[in-house]
Amino acid sequence: MQPKEINPFEIEPRLKPDRLPQHIAIIMDGNGRWAKRLGVQRIMGHKSAVQAVRESVESTAELGIPFLTLYAFSSENWARPKTEVNALMQLLVQTIRKEVRKLDENGIRLNAIGNINQLPKDCQKELLQAIEITKSNTHLTLTLALSYGSRQDLLQAFQLMAYEIQNGNLSLEDLSIETISSHLSTADLPDPELLIRTSGEYRISNFLLWEIAYSELYITSKMWPDFRRQDLYDAIIDYQSRERRFGKTSEQIHRAD
């Protein structure tokens, strides 16, 4: 995942450096269908997807975008066949072990959200070691959503706030949008401005439901294993062509400018 010594704005002059999103989130979808289309086992789709992850991380770092969040394994994915889940967990261990040195060398901090305790012990160990090794890096925060579900995250936040109210550490008058956000696992991350979903599916799949309230959505029919640097550029270019109004009118936005 080592960023190359290239200028992405020379490679893709349509990119506007002053209008880059600060946080991109990606629903990495289509590995299984990619494998089925080629007549190979589903795990081959997951293995082939590692290159898409690598290019997305490299491209984000090259552009100077400080936050990238990848939906790697949902809380619902545990219901998949055990052989596939086991293979995915093994692939996770191998990938983290292989890439952590490059992440550290390039100033990339690894972060994770989700019910990490549900992961196999070797996955937890590898992940936590990589998080510790890269914790001081500031160029890019790469967050992996693992055993993650947004409804579950919201439920845990509400339970924590209820507990704090019950114990007198929080009052009903203190509840606000900011209070809820501060109790989520994403409390240290800005809300994503751009959410990308691959494979042409038009759904959110229980991913960052609270955080994407005003995110721009970009859906591509390309399967995740085929997603490359130019595909990320295209998503950003599309994002930059939009007017983000946050409930206001165009006239109000332009007057503010």
pLDDT in tens, 121-180: 999 999 999 999 999 999 999 999 999 999 999 999 999 999 999 999 999 999 999 999
pLDDT digits (tens, 9 = 90+) for 128-141: 999 999 999 999 99
* Average pLDDT over the chain, rounded to an integer: 94
The catalytic residues are: 29, 77
CATH (domain of 72) = 3.40.1180.10
How many structural domains are present in the chain? 1
Q: Which of 46-55, 61-70, 174-183, 247-256 is least confident?
A: 247-256
Task: Look at residue 6 and tell me if it is in a domain.
Answer: no
157 vs 109: CA distance, rounded Å? 24
Mean pLDDT of 95-117: 97
Residue 248 resides in a domain: no
* Residue 222, Cβ density class (10 Å: 0-12 exposed, 13-18 middle, ≥19 buried): middle
Residue 250 has pLDDT above 80, yes or no: no
pLDDT greater than 60 at residue 62? yes
DSSP class per residue in 62-76:
HHT--EEEEEEEEGG
pLDDT of residue 139: 97
Domain span including residue 136: 21-150+192-242
Q: How far is CA 62 from the centre of its chain?
A: 17
